[in-house]
Amino acid sequence: MSVTTTTAAVVTDSTADLPAPIVAASGIRVVPVILVAEGSSYVDDGTLSRAAFYDRLTTMRHPATTASPPGEAFSTIYRGALEAGASRVVSIHVSGRLSGVVDIARHAAEAFHERVQLVDSGQVSLGLGFQVLAAARAARQGQTVSQILAAAASVRRRVRTIAMIDDLEYLRRSGRVDWLRSRLSTLLHIRLLVELTDGMVRRLAQVRTRARAIEALAERAQGWGRLERLGVLHSSALEEADALASRLAALSDDKPLVVDVTTVIGAHVGARSLGLVGVLPDSVAAEG
């Protein structure tokens, strides 16, 4: 019995940190998350530039917060994709342990029954974005929904995400990291290295100086060995991100993708943080 090819659309949210030209070229649909700053709500679509946000961040009287998009935002995207000719939708989102986005999406998807498949990426930023790109590539090739889901799951299994948080106060305020609340007093004036595993932020190391923290990031990435893809993340620290990308470029088959993380991530990590996202080859991941 032959398998019928399905025309599928791929949807994600703006925490995937995929640059607009890549989104457009890949046919990905993006639901923007909400940033709340100084009593005003901003749809995460570039209306509030990253530069303007970080300029204001340290002087805000109240910390910036984030909110999940309303269910109708997902329903509109799903409906539009189906009306445009897709027979199925694969919707891949930020870790459910860090955000309520995937729950809102799942509730919206119920009205579309089996036509919308929800995926919790267990990741954020390019840890999510690289999964979405793999799914979109499979969709463009006319693969079945099962194959598209498998492509995303393969990257999810192989992705590694680490970061250096320059100012822990923003991460503490976010409330996303339980263990940080009780330990902040012992972590003042240091840079924290964290990793995202099983959808949660976990501590890797603490380093006194920024230069040593960046060095530690680079060393951990080099420990991954050869990579299929590499992303360099930053929150208003482009010069250092570019330097890291140049230093680590030889690790990756493709040119490292450097992104200034979206403001809804920046609200939780503060300015001048850096991160690395690597996708291990299949053979290396299997050995690990």
Closest CA to 149 of 89, 190, 219, 216: 89
Tokens of 222: 């080099």
Report phi then psi at 207, rounded to 5.
-135, 140
9 three-class SS: strand
Distance CA 76, CA 71 (A): 9
Residue 174 is predicted with a pLDDT of: 52
Residue 118 is predicted with a pLDDT of 97
pLDDT at 181 (0 to 100): 47
Spell out the domains of the chain, with CATH numbers in brackets.
8-156 (3.40.50.10170), 158-287 (3.30.1180.10)
Q: What is the pLDDT of residue 182?
A: 42
DSSP line for 198-259: TTEEEEEEEESSHHHHHHHHHHHHHHH-SBSEEEEEESS-HHHHHHHHHHHGGGBSSPPEEE
pLDDT reported for residue 55: 84
d(CA 203, CA 195): 6
Tokens of 55: 């300029």
Amino acid at 28: I
Cross-strand pairs, 91:
11, 118
Which parts of the chain register pLDDT below 70? 1-6, 171-189, 284-288
pLDDT at 56: 85
pLDDT at 52: 85
Tell whether the torsion through CA atoms of 214, 220, 225 and 227 is positive or negative: negative
pLDDT of residue 141: 96
Predicted local confidence at residue 6, as pLDDT: 64
What pLDDT is stored for residue 232 in this prediction? 98
Residue 135: the pLDDT is: 98
Q: What is the pLDDT of residue 22?
A: 97
Distance CA 142, CA 259 (A): 29
What is the rounded CA–CA span in Å between residue 67 and residue 100?
8
- Residue 179 pLDDT: 45
